[in-house]
Amino acid sequence: MSNLPSEPEFEQAYKELASSLEDSTLFKQHPEYRTALEVAAIPERVIQFRVVWGDDKGKLRVNRGYRVQFNSTLGPYKGGLRFHPTVNLSILKFLGFEQTFKNALTGLNMGGAKGGADFDPKGKSDAEIRRFCCAFMRELSKHIGPATDVPAGDIGVSGREIGFMFGAYRQARTRYDGVLTGKGLSWGGSLIRPEATGYGLVYYVGYMLQHAGRGSIAGKRVAISGSGNVAQYAALKCIELGATVVSLSDSKGSLVAEGDGGFTPKQIRVIAELKLERKALTDFPQCNGHTKAHTNGHTNGLTNGVNGHTNGLTNGVNGHTNGDTDGLTNGVNGHANGDTNGDHEPCGFRWVPGARPWEHVGKVDIALPCATQNEVSGDEARALVAGGVLIVAEGSNMGCTQDAIDVFEAERRKKGDRAVWYAPGKASNCGGVAVSGLEMAQNNQRLTWTADKVDERLKDIMKRAFDDGLYAAGKYVDSEEGELPSLVAGSNIAGFVKVAQAMHDQGEWW
């Protein structure tokens, strides 16, 4: 509409969904769903507020806070909070829109939302972050609740920030509710939650390989972008299952393994500690072409916090646990119980400044964008195809540009069962919000499930998301014999139909 400001990220997300629906037979079979799309494209509620806080010098600071409550047809609003200087309404609308259909694919009763602030945690002290989180939650607490809206973490919001905000909510509302997910294990969190997005992504890729008759992840070369939570756990799970991880990246550039080498679990843990300290990959210790696994006390996955220990469980603020991470610290004031100083390992890594990994990794079997939106361009997609990639699955939200998606989909149609197969983030990275939903269920029961139980439920949810996408693609998308189904179209249709039908049943369109 000409009277509205441009919202490029949201418009891209809307067009990506709408084009999938238009190119299928859905609107021919159900023309009434065009009305549903028109209604579903507008958020139920958009909340914007100022956040006033003081820095360590006593100077007043002010930021913009947001919560886009997009759709509550299937359950309470559910979606993360992002603290990053690039946050604006367009990005949050795009994320909330995607979240609505992603949550539908989990099969759990969750609506879609997204929120955050244009606050940059980098370079801030713990005290400054605590003051900001408390000021942010004083306003947000008026609009959320366990049966209304249950936020979680996202970029810039980890266990520390969740802890500060949970405490602020509890004090403001005098209620002990499961109003946030990603909490510390000792105060309502769930095992496997920190790992869930990365683990779920790898499980989804496993189902893709199995369906396409391409074996298992074992023996595959995997390129990963990003080096945060999702990338770390995706890398660890790939390595555990026998794959070779050849790249990680951050905003400053990419770290790429040369030859047949790849990252080790120990090196992933070193990178996790760097990211916990908000350092760049350029601080990953290197010497004469070899990487020093110099961790200053990080060993054996035993990470002790302050006033508490976890024996391999993630440390939250002051040692509270926040999930089973096999030794990846995810909190504040934790330190390792051991020392590996002087342990050197050859790595053959090269640093590519200012670049994403896709054009520098050579031949890979699997590509997992796990950093942020629009991180694979059309040219980078063509480079991956030229390198023989079999699977591209998004660990980030809208990780591929529309040009990149068009490249992958054209290859899928042209080469049949030998083609690259692309999975959109709303399906392949829904594991994080799925385990958030399981955390909500545990909070309602006042119980904590075992890690094995949560992990099995996660596998089942990822299989269901994969199967639903396959079914919808088979029902509504025309294809040639031997052609791999379009997971982007199938997942978009499956999530949309579930939301649209529920909206109709509840009288939101007719």
∠ Cα 459 324 192 (to 5°): 30
Residue with tokens 């950093």: 371
Burial state string for 155-171 with b = 16 or more CB within 10 A and e = fewer than 16 = bbbbbbbbbbbbbbbbe
Q: Whole-angstrom Cα distance, residue 117 to residue 136? A: 8
To the question of whether residue 254 is assigned a binding role by annotation, the answer is: no
Would the annotation count 331 as a binding residue?
A: no
Residue 102 among known ligand-binding residues? yes
For residue 114, indicate whether it is catalytic: yes
User: Annotated binding residue at 153?
Assistant: yes
How far is Cα 188 from Cα 128, in angstroms, rounded to an integer?
Answer: 25
100 in a known ligand binding site: no
Tracing tokens 């095992």 back to the chain, one arrives at: 191
Of the residues 93, 114, 124, 426, only one is catalytic, namely 114
N-term to C-term CA, the chain: 23
What DSSP designation does 284 have?
Answer: S
How far apart, in whole angstroms, are the C-alpha atoms of residue 140 and residue 136?
6
Q: Which two tokens stand for residue 444?
A: 């309602």
SS (H, E, C) 226-237: CCCHHHHHHHHH
Give the type of residue at 123.
Answer: G
Q: Where are the alpha helices (DSSP H) in 212-352?
A: 229-240, 265-276
Dihedral sign of CA atoms 158, 104, 200, 16 in order: negative
Separation CA 129–CA 163 (nearest Å): 11
Give the count of beta carbons closer than 10 Å to the beta carbon of residue 352.
17
Known binding residue 443? Answer is no
Which neighbouring-strand residues pair with 505? none
**Residue 197 assigned ligand-binding role:** yes
DSSP category for residue 477: S
DSSP string, 326-369: TT---SBS-EESS--TT-EE---EEEEET--STTTS-S-SEEE-
CA distance 158 to 152: 9
Q: What does the alpha-carbon distance between residue 243 and residue 236 come to, in Å, rounded to a whole number? A: 10
Annotated binding site for NAD(+): 197, 229
Known catalytic residues? 114
Residues of the binding site: 78, 99, 102, 153, 197, 229, 436
Binding-site residue numbers for substrate are 78, 99, 102, 153, 436
